[in-house]
Amino acid sequence: MSGGLLVAGTTSDAGKSVVTAGICRWLVRQGVKVAPFKAQNMSLNSFVTREGAEIGRAQAMQAQACRIEPSALMNPVLLKPGGEQSSQVVLMGKPVGEMSARGYHGGRQQKLFGTVLDCLAELRGTYDAVICEGAGSPAEINLRRTDIVNMGIARNAGLPVLVVGDIDRGGVFASFFGTVALLSEEDQKLVAGFLVNKFRGDVSLLEPGLDMLHGLTGRRTYGVLPFRHGLGIDEEDGLRVSLRGTVRESNTAPPVGEDVLRVAVCAIPLMSNFTDIDALAAEPGVVVRFVDRPEELADADLVVIPGTRGTVRALEWLHERGLADALKRRVAEGRPVLGICGGFQVLGEHIEDEVESRQGEVEGLGVLPVRVRFAPKKILTRPEGEALGERVTGYEIHHGVADIHGGTPFLDGIRVGQTWGTHWHGSLESDGFRRAFLREVATATGRRFVPAPDTSFAALREEQLDRLGDLIEQHADTDALWRLIESGAPQGLPFIPPGAPA
């Protein structure tokens, strides 16, 4: 078997990443050697492979669903937005420059197509099946000519396409029909059918609509996945204007101690790797909330400033919102603050940035004895170390180089009183360290909080991936899905007018 499938979506955030991970976990449980692939990803949530390559976190999680090590082959092109107009282009895990959307779609994208196809071919030569994830919608008619992630790759690699629609948003039938009808005749031949995601209620009420959709398009629906809380894998979207009020979901046990710990995460612009917070949210008795107002820090036991693709912009935002002064007061009062990567950098005294913002010398919040200089070469490592008497692993993704002149060492960063700063992402996924850190926070705040002694973040992630696999196994037509992966799109699928514009 050397099969493949492209999971496309009617929109961004339709559930492509989750469905891809679920299909991967279902296949690997059947004894299939499978790998994920996303030709081009736009995300501020990224991960570092063992070889020191930067890829999207969603692909890293999909690799975990396949029970294999992630590699740059699985996400050859990663775009990291630096604002509304430009992105850093990461090719095969290494940054190759900044580019505007017009410049990228105007020619650079097509030049990367050969690399993308070579990576997919290498994966297909190594694994029994490769489950590819598209981006946005395949019916972006303004971008079809330069497409290398949706129908462009499906056509070149001969992949059948499964279109996922989020019925919880509404309009799913129109979205399915319109997606097919806006594709060219050659592209339509590869669209095998549909998968409904996030359905609530009695599926029998949906079936007449699915029958009508089949009659209109000649394409079947391969499954209806029910809505389930807490099933999202690492999100790609780090460009939301504000996440204030959003609480990280986690299926956990009741608190062990008498108190809970409240964690406020500053929803800074261009927030990256906010998935660092997931390990805190997985702890019984820890409530995690994204905030963007100074008064929302008042009752927080711990404030986290996460990573960002725009350190200087994040610093400006903290001042604009009044959060900078609130953070300084908090530090002066000895109340816990944790800065991760860009969040660590803004806590320092001085930032010299001719790389990311190109604003030169900028004053930081000045609460940690650190001076940061942005270097052209990005640091991409998988460090290991010890903190609070516990072993810790993590990963680093940053241009900023920290010159530390005081304080107590902490994960290659620094601690001063109850203010902590580190460039390490993922450190809170180390169970022993996370528990020790939360005990420190509880002591500093006088909370009668006790970390659960047996929470395993890795085990919770495995359970989550198994639940995704269960969704596919229990609510999709897996026999038909297997035939699709193994044999490609059915022959004789009808053309649905009008097709793509000339």
Angle among Cα 394, 399, 402 to the nearest 5 degrees reads 75
β-bridge partners, 396: 381
Residue 498 and residue 181 in contact, taking contact as beta carbons nearer than 8 Å: yes
At residue 234, the pLDDT reads: 59
Q: How far apart are CA 302 and CA 334, in angstroms?
A: 11
Q: How far apart are CA 379 and CA 456, in angstroms?
A: 29
**Catalytic residue positions, numbered:** 341, 425
Angle among Cα 476, 482, 487 to the nearest 5 degrees reads 135
Helix (H), strand (E) at residue 305: strand 302-305
For residue 464, give the 3-state DSSP assignment. Answer: helix
**pLDDT, block means (10 residues), the chain with 502 residues:** 91 93 97 97 92 95 97 95 82 88 67 93 97 95 92 96 95 97 98 96 94 97 90 52 48 79 94 89 92 94 95 95 96 97 96 88 95 94 96 96 94 96 96 97 96 92 94 97 96 96 84
Total-model pTM: 0.92
Q: Which residues contact 363 (CB under 8 A, 6 or more apart)?
A: 349, 350, 351
Angle among Cα 97, 102, 108 to the nearest 5 degrees reads 50
β-bridge partners, 54: 48
β-bridge partners, 87: 81, 99
Rg (CA), the chain: 23
Residue 235 and residue 203 in contact, taking contact as beta carbons nearer than 8 Å: no
Give me the amino acid identity at 94.
K
Q: How far apart are CA 454 and CA 373, in angstroms?
A: 40
Q: How far apart are CA 272 and CA 208, in angstroms?
A: 43
Listed in sequence order, the DSSP H helices in 67-103 are 101-103
Per-residue pLDDT tens digits for 220-248: 999 999 998 766 565 554 434 334 445 55
Q: Which of 174, 183, 178, 111 is nearest to 148 (CA)?
A: 111
At residue 248, the pLDDT reads: 57
